[in-house]
Structure 1
Amino acid sequence: MTWTIYLSGEIHTDWRDRIREGVAAAGLPVNLTGPVTHHEASDDCGVAILGAEPDKFWHDHKGAQVNAIRTRTLIGKADIVVVRFGEKYKQWNAAFDAGYAAALGKPLIVMHQAEHAHALKEVDAAALAVARTPEQVVELLRYVVNGELAGYTDGQTIAE
């Protein structure tokens, strides 16, 4: 089985690349999906495709609707959803994605710094795991997908 993992959340650091590299190095049968991470393209997709909006509210609204087609579809198809909350910006979209995934009954892994634990306590409560680093996410995926736990070398894994 190839697992589909949706990577949601902040777009300003290399966390997706670190997960992609870790998954590849571990040889996990995983397909990673996610939102459009080119900030300007994501903001402007609605007006670029469907026409200009003179009011910034409607410009952003149109883009959010177009992006939601991708987001809802890919979260719906995901086996696991990983949501990263970054340090610098408030990611309301990430919180929405976490809630949407939880409402769909998707297994949810949340990743954020310890100092955000209080602000994200409801999101964390809906998650099945709360990680601090992309490397922890890779180890979670190694265990869940292959039944392998680092440091345990008896060769036994959970049968598919």
Structure 2
Amino acid sequence: MNRPNVVYLSSSAHSDWRNEVRAKYQNNANVILVGPCEQHGLSDAMGAPGDSRPGHKLRITQMLSKSQILFGYIPSDRYRSFNIMLEIGLAHAWGKKIVLVNEARSLDEELRLAVTHVDEYFTSLDQGLTYLEQMLAEPVVNPNQINYSLGQSGTEQLSHQVYLAGEDQSTDWLETIKSHYRSYPSVQFCTGTDWASLATSDILFAFRSSPERRLFNIPLSVGYASTMAKRILFINQGDHHSHAYDYVKPFSDGYFTNLEKGLEYLDYTLGIENR
């Protein structure tokens, strides 16, 4: 079985154009479509752009990092499309293929810089989707060319690797987290002291379940993961000795004081929206 093409659909949530694309590829096992959250209520609850909650950053960086192609669409100038520009910047730095469609003629001048950083540029959605179809008929990128620092691997399906760091004298918390995702085989976990596993993971989920031990392995793991641009969720159950972790918090994408909230944000990061 060939590895699938993963396409990140970037645009405003105020348009249903993605439904047409999903319908076209719904029976094609070689194409997986991902993107930001399109449910406004959920998106706002998890961290809309502009507030301090980390959901927006976690979701777009995780899904975009798993993609080979970014397909960006600007239907009008109503929302100015700052999110698309941000995602193009990320995709360009990560070596993704970028296709941009702009149907807002009033933005042509403002897009001059962005256009120099995309692979293909079109002025109509039909043209862009026709080109995307041609791209998806080609072989997927050679796994040897994948940037493993993003947590990508040459698997045959889209998967998310989560490294679990925390209490090593009790495994109850590990089983709680793993059981939460038992019906989601695309979510895979690794533990232990081998940072090679952390290096090839997408997300560090660090959980301090006990107020007794210092658990130096958590700040160690956070520091290592931060330099490799991993998504980092740090849960300090009960907010014990919070001041001692003030050094760690700025290096985490999200800091939570109970496991339930941490798992809620991990769900969102992984695109699990309706449990």
Per the normalisation by structure 2, the TM-score is 0.44
AA in 2 matched with 1:117: D
Q: Relative to total residues, which structure has the larger strand share, 1 or 2?
A: 2
Alignment-derived partner of residue 93 in structure 2? 103
Aligned partners of 2:50 and 2:57: how far apart in 1? 12
- Match among 116, 123, 129 for residue 114 of structure 2: 123
Instruction: Give the superposition deviation at 1:114.
Output: 5.2
AA in 1 matched with 2:134: Y
AA in 2 matched with 1:83: G
Aligned partners of 2:50 and 2:91: how far apart in 1? 23
| Residues 131 and 24 of structure 1: CA distance in aligned 2, closer, same or farther (over 3 Å) | farther
Alignment-derived partner of residue 7 in structure 1? 9
Structure 1 stretches of 4+ with a deviation exceeding 4 A read none
| Residues 133 and 29 of structure 1: CA distance in aligned 2, closer, same or farther (over 3 Å) | farther
Aligned partners of 1:13 and 1:107: how far apart in 2? 23
AA in 1 matched with 2:63: L
- Match among 49, 54, 62 for residue 52 of structure 2: 62
Instruction: Indicate conservation of the 8 Å contact 1:2/1:30, yes or no.
Output: yes
AA in 2 matched with 1:92: F
Alignment-derived partner of residue 126 in structure 2? 135
Unaligned runs of 5+ in 1: 48-58, 148-160
Aligned partners of 1:44 and 1:32: how far apart in 2? 23
Alignment-derived partner of residue 37 in structure 1? 38
**Higher Cα Rg, which structure:** 2
Instruction: Indicate conservation of the 8 Å contact 1:28/1:142, yes or no.
Output: no
Alignment-derived partner of residue 20 in structure 1? 22
| Greater displacement, 69-78 / 131-140 | 131-140
AA in 2 matched with 1:35: P
Instruction: Indicate conservation of the 8 Å contact 2:74/2:104, yes or no.
Output: no
Instruction: Give the superposition deviation at 1:138.
Output: 2.7
Once the two structures are aligned, what percentage of the paired residues are identical?
22
Q: Indicate yes or no: 2:74 matched with 1:85.
A: yes
AA in 2 matched with 1:104: W
Aligned partners of 1:140 and 1:15: how far apart in 2? 16
Alignment-derived partner of residue 73 in structure 1? 62
Q: Relative to total residues, which structure has the larger helix share, 1 or 2?
A: 1
* Paired residue total: 134
Instruction: Give the superposition deviation at 1:22.
Output: 3.1
